[in-house]
Amino acid sequence: MSELAWFKSSYSGSSGDDCVEVAVTDQAVHVRDSKDKGGPHLTVGRDAWERFVRFAAMCG
pLDDT one-digit tens code per residue, 24-54: 999 999 999 988 989 999 999 999 999 999 9
Confidence of residue 60 (pLDDT cuts 50, 70, 90): confident
pLDDT given for residue 44 in this prediction: 98
Reported pTM: 0.80
Strand order across the beta sheet in which 28-33 lies: 20-24, 28-33, 42-45
Neighbours of 32 (CB within 10 A): 19
